[in-house]
């Protein structure tokens, strides 16, 4: 199906022109100040009526020079920047950066630390998916579902605030551990949040998954083939929606993902409905993962006992010369990571979030490169949109879940 | 009392009823959606902060109009200023005057004169309503055209296509209604619904024309351009559709027109299918309850009960539309057209043929 051939300018010799009268092609700039484009993206559209015949996607409106900024501070000072990558699930960015740096430094974190990271990663994944699903539902008009999901997310964000002190700017991970242990009532509140999220997902299922209007809006829209998805480098729910069972949590387990049982939901056609269903199922799976981990987690330290990696306790800092020196060195020079380079990727909510770190042996990163999962999807977006209508842009773009902070860095 | 004075009072009464109900609906919508979505909703209305409680629907009755009409009325460069100013009135005016043909009570005797409780005693009331509802499309089209904005233009194109498509289904459904009542006069239709069938069931139109009811209700919602039929203003797609370039009082007019259309649709459905002002089992001389005999009620109480019944029914259908609006997602343009042309139009047509055949078979036709 070559829809592009409707544009007379794009007809090749010998192509049969479309029989119907070709109307005037309208150029329309959608965004960056458009309700659906988050203020961070612009589509230069060519429209034939309401049909998109060409789309040029412009990204970069939220470019802040993240990678360059990271080179200016110490390794630890990079962590707050990672909060701002995918701001719907900041903890995942935090932890994956720390994991990458730890692997480069050859540090193994205590088991409890890994458990907490896994639990909170899954919590963030749920929050991220709830944002994506809820906002997509809102954008196709089902505003109530959006509110239900945002309410469930709010509970998770409040829990995140309870643990880390912030909803988005968490900075909870540290190289070699975490800033602090979980609060005492964490398990209780987490279980309550899981129960509430399950209720919300049940409501959403009733309101959307059996709603004919919603299914019509999503099914068969924004299709991209399995081969194209792979060749564009798209990962995560978008890839799984085409039927590829690729999940880094399963295929290359890190943290504690090898100790839990979970399914990797996949779709068949790679349309928006599959994407929606995959994300929907992943929320359910993530909740299961959290429950399993809550049953396994044991008390213990949450940071490595190595003063060259993690700042010593305040008691040592105040009462011993070695402690004071260790704190001074880490604050002023940064954590010294041996010279070398590493690429480490984990499964973030949107797909493969990779960190390529280069260290020259000093306390500052020589180079930090992020592989943002949704940037690659943005490349393929034009292919998904051409042939559809303006209304399909909304549902497709919503299901891609482009997060400006991560895409533009 | 002259006829002119009575006419003026009735017009004013209906106008105030529709306007106030529209404003009230805005509050119900804000509070109702909050109720549906586990929120608190509008609760900031107060008088200089001295009243210890929230003033409820004063929000929309006083606070919202003050806010809207004191805002800057922005007119974008390059737009057609005359049409830009005209469009909100083109949208609001038909919505407000449609209600004129809808009877809100039985005729009463006032100072020796019989007064029909509707603004105009129109024996082609249904045609008038159909005509006025169709007028609403001009507001949307002119607004989109005059705004010099492509989003607005897209919205108005969508709006005109949608409203014209759904008017067809609505018109055909109305034909079957007219066939079964045998009149175009809406007061006569309401009178016809005052009987009971099988001894207890009020003879409401919905029991005779259920398909037409569904079609007219759905098409009516499509006419009022609200979710799931809000594609002309789909806020996530077209920013605000045909009134993207409107602000302040003009934008308020468009909003008010939408709510007035909600009231009109509720009034139309009530009148055609749910007995209009008929209170179940209440005749002019009192209640005729099945199995329980007759209870005498004075004429004044009867009139009041009828007015109340009409208001409650209208309010119920307004609420139903709000409930639908906050429950389902929006259609896509082509799906909406499919539903209108391939779904509702054939059903409405079949309903007309079926109704006509039934009437012919019962020998009422000739």
Maximal C-alpha separation, chain A: 87
Cα first-last separation, chain A: 35
Q: Mean pLDDT, chain B, as a whole number?
A: 80
Angle at B63 between CA B57 and CA B66, to 5 degrees: 145
Give the per-residue pLDDT at B35.
84
Comparing CB atoms, the residue among A35, A207, A389 nearest residue B235 is A35
Q: What CATH number does the domain located at A77-106+109-303+338-407 have?
A: 1.10.645.10
Closest in A50, A143, A392 to B326, CB measured: A143
Q: How far is CA B106 from CA A29, B115, B192, B278, in A?
A: 56, 9, 12, 8
Name the minimum distance, in Å, from the CA of B62 to any CA of chain A.
Answer: 27
CB contact under 8 A, A141 and B332: no
Q: How confident is the model at residue B210 (pLDDT cuts 50, 70, 90)?
A: confident
Continuous segment of H or E residues that includes residue B216: helix B210-223
Q: Which residues of B touch A151 (CB under 8 A)?
A: 38
Per DSSP, what are the bridge partners of residue A48? A51
Q: Looking at residue A18, what is its pLDDT? A: 53
Q: For residue range B185-201, what is the model confidence (pLDDT) as tens digits?
A: 888 788 777 777 776 77
What residues are paired with A408 via a beta bridge?
Answer: none
The mean pLDDT value for B337-365 works out to 84
Residue A10 CA to residue A28 CA, distance in Å, equals 18
Instruction: Determine whether the interchain pair B33/A392 forms a contact, defined as Cβ–Cβ distance below 8 Å.
Output: no
Verify whether the Cβ–Cβ distance B237 to A390 is below 8 Å.
Answer: yes
- Which residue in A142, A147, A390 is closest to B329 by CB distance? A142
Q: State residue A343's pLDDT score.
A: 92
pLDDT at position A249 is 87
Q: Which residues of chain A have pLDDT under 50?
A: 1-15, 19
* Chain B interface mutation, best of A36, A37, A51, A143, highest count of B Cβ atoms under 10 Å: A143
* Contacts with A140 from chain B: Cβ below 8 Å: 236, 329-330
Q: Tell whether the torsion through CA atoms of B180, B184, B190 and B195 is positive or negative.
A: negative
Q: Is the pLDDT of residue B1 over 60?
A: no
CB contact under 8 A, A141 and B239: no
SS3 A178: strand
Q: A216: which chain B residues are within 8 Å (Cβ-Cβ)?
A: 331-332, 335
What distance in Å separates residue B333's CA from the closest CA in chain A?
8
Phi, psi (deg, nearest 5) at residue A404: -55, -45
A-B CB pairs within 8 A amount to 79
The three state secondary structure string of A79-144 is HHHHHCCCCCCHHHHHHHHHHHHHHHHCCCCCHHHHHHHHHHHHHHHHHHHHHHHHHHHHHCCCHH
Judge: A34–B228 Cβ closer than 8 Å, yes or no: no
- CB contact under 8 Å between B236 and A207, yes or no, is no
What does the alpha-carbon distance between residue B264 and residue B18 come to, in Å, rounded to a whole number? 8
Nearest CA in chain A to B154: A50
**Residue contact A36–B236, C-beta within 8 A:** yes
B20-66 pLDDT, tens per residue? Answer: 787 778 888 888 888 888 888 777 766 666 666 666 666 667 777 78
A307-315 long-range Cβ contacts below 8 angstroms, 24+ apart: A308/A335, A308/A336, A309/A105, A309/A107, A309/A175, A309/A176, A309/A335, A310/A174, A310/A175, A310/A176, A310/A177
Q: Which residues pair with A351 in a beta bridge?
A: A348
Over residues B296-312, the pLDDT tens digits come to 777 777 778 888 888 88
Let me know how long chain A is.
409
Closest C-alpha to A167, from A175, A155, A179, A183 = A155
On whether the CB atoms of residues A280 and A133 are closer than 8 A, the answer is: yes
- What are B81-119's pLDDT values in tens digits? 888 888 888 888 888 888 888 887 777 776 666 777 777
Q: Do A213 and B36 touch (CB under 8 A)?
A: no
In angstroms, the CA A23 to CA A42 distance is 24
Average pLDDT over residues B71-85: 84
* Domain segments of chain A as ranges: 3-58, 77-106+109-303+338-407
Q: Are A86 and A93 in contact (CB under 8 A)?
A: yes
Helix pair angle (A90-105, A75-83), 10° resolution: 160
Q: What is the pTM of this model?
A: 0.82
The chain B residue lying nearest A137, using CA atoms, is B329
Query: Domain-by-domain residue ranges, chain B?
Result: 72-361
Q: Which of A34, A147, A391 sits opposite B37 (nearest CB)?
A: A147
């Amino acid at each position: 199906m070559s829809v592009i051939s409707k544009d007379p300018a794009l007809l090749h010799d010998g192509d049969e022109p479309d029989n119907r009268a070709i109307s005037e092609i309208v150029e329309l700039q959608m965004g960056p100040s458009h309700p659906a484009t988050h203020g961070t993206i612009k589509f230069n559209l060519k429209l034939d009526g309401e049909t998109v015949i060409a789309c040029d996607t412009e990204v970069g409106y939220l470019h802040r020079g993240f990678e360059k900024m990271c080179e200016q501070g110490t390794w630890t000072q990079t962590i707050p920047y990672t909060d701002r990558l995918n701001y719907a699930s900041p903890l995942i960015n935090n932890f994956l950066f720390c994991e990458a740096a730890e692997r480069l430094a050859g540090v193994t974190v205590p088991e409890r630390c890994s458990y907490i990271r896994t639990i909170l990663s899954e919590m963030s994944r749920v929050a991220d998916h709830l944002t994506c699903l809820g906002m997509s539902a809102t954008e196709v008009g089902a505003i109530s579902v959006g509110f239900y999901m945002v309410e469930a997310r709010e509970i998770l964000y409040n829990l995140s605030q309870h643990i880390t002190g912030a909803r988005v700017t968490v900075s909870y991970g540290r190289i070699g551990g975490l800033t602090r242990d979980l609060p005492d009532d964490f398990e209780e509140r987490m279980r309550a949040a899981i129960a509430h999220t399950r209720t919300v997902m049940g409501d959403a299922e009733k309101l959307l998954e059996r709603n004919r209007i919603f299914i019509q809006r999503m099914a068969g829209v924004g299709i991209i083939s399995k081969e194209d998805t792979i060749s564009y480098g798209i990962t995560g729910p978008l890839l799984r929606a085409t039927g590829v069972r690729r999940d880094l949590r399963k295929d290359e387990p890190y943290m504690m993902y090898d100790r839990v049982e979970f399914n990797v939901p996949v779709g068949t056609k790679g349309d928006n409905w599959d994407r929606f269903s995959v994300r929907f199922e992943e929320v359910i799976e993530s909740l299961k993962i959290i429950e399993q981990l809550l049953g396994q987690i044991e008390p213990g330290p949450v940071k490595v006992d190595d003063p060259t990696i993690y700042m010593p306790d305040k008691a040592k800092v105040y009462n011993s010369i070695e402690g004071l020196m260790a704190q001074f060195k880490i604050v002023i020079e940064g954590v010294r990571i041996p010279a070398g380079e590493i690429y480490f990727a984990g499964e973030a909510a949107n797909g493969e979030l990779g960190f390529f770190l280069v260290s020259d042996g000093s306390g500052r990163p020589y180079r930090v490169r992020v592989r943002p999962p949704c940037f690659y999807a943005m490349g393929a977006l034009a292919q998904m949109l051409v042939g559809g209508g303006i209304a399909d842009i909304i549902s497709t773009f919503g299901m891609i879940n482009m997060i400006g902070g991560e895409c533009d860095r | 009392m002259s006829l002119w004075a009575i006419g003026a009072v009735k017009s004013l009464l209906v106008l105030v009823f529709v306007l106030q109900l529209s404003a009230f609906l805005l509050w119900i919508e804000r509070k109702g959606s909050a109720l549906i979505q586990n929120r608190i909703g509008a609760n900031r209305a107060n008088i200089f902060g001295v009243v210890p409680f929230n003033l409820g629907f004063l929000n929309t009755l006083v606070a919202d109009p003050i806010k809207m009409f004191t805002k800057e009325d922005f007119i974008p460069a390059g737009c057609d200023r005359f049409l830009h100013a005209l469009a909100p009135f083109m949208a609001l005016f038909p919505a407000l005057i449609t209600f004129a043909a809808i009877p809100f009570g039985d005729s009463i005797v006032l100072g020796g004169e019989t007064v029909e409780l509707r603004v105009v005693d129109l024996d082609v009331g249904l045609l008038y309503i159909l005509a006025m509802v169709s007028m609403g499309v001009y507001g949307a089209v002119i607004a989109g055209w005059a705004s010099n904005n492509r989003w607005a233009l897209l919205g108005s194109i969508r709006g005109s296509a949608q409203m014209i498509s759904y008017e067809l289904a609505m018109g055909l459904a109305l034909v079957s209604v007219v066939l079964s009542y045998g009149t175009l006069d809406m007061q006569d239709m309401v009178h016809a619904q005052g009987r009971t069938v099988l001894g207890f069931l009020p003879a409401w139109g919905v029991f005779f024309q259920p398909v037409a009811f569904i079609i007219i209700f759905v098409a009516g919602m499509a006419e009022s351009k609200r979710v799931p039929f809000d594609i002309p203003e789909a806020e996530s797609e077209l920013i605000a559709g045909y009134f993207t370039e409107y602000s302040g009082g003009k934008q308020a007019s468009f909003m008010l027109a939408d709510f007035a259309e909600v009231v009109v649709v509720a009034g139309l459905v009530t009148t055609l299918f749910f007995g209009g002002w008929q209170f179940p089992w209440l005749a002019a001389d009192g209640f005729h309850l099945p199995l329980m005999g007759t209870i005498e009620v004075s004429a004044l109480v009867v009139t009041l009960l009828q007015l109340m019944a009409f208001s409650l029914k209208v309010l119920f259908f307004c609420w139903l539309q709000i409930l639908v609006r906050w429950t389902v997602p929006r259609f896509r343009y082509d799906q909406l057209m499919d539903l209108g042309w391939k779904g509702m139009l054939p059903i409405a047509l079949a309903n007309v043929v079926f109704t006509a055949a039934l009437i012919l078979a019962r020998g009422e036709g000739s």
